[in-house]
Amino acid sequence: MKKLITPLLIITLFSCKKESQRPLVTDFNPPYLGTYYSTNGDTAYVSKTEDTTMVFIRWCAVGDQAKINFDSVRVFQNGTITCNEYVQYCINQRAIGTGTIGENKLKFTFSLTGMGCSGDAIFNGVK
């Protein structure tokens, strides 16, 4: 019995076929990249990153007072976005939030938590 199990086990282990890896997307140019403007006077610049599942958002508050770079905003196929990273604003602090992107609209609320400069980056704009 032992002689029969060993060859069957070896055949089973080596007969499993590895899945081929999907090729990387080299032409990542989604239609939502660009500049968005809100009625409040804020501006958000959306550009691509090396990771094709994320975008870079540079948020400039009214009158260019605050400028915050969110460089790891994850984009999902349904148009929702999430942010969970550390950003440099006053100090290195946590930014957490969600939003939507697509159809020439960008909307997000990212909460900044840190000592002295906490608050929310809220944006609702169009291209």
In this structure, what token pair is assigned to residue 39?
Answer: 């009625």
pLDDT in tens, 51-83: 888 999 999 988 657 789 999 999 998 999 999
Query: What span, in angstroms and rounded, lies between the C-alpha atoms of 97 and 103?
Result: 20
With left for phi above 0 and alpha for psi between -120 and 50, is residue 80 left, alpha or beta?
Answer: beta
The DSSP element (H or E) to which 9 belongs, if any, is helix 2-15
Mean pLDDT in residue range 2-6? 49
The domains of the chain are located at 30-126
Q: What does pTM read for this prediction?
A: 0.73
- CATH of the structural domain 30-126, one choice from 2.40.160, 2.40.50, 1.50.10, 1.10.3470: 2.40.160
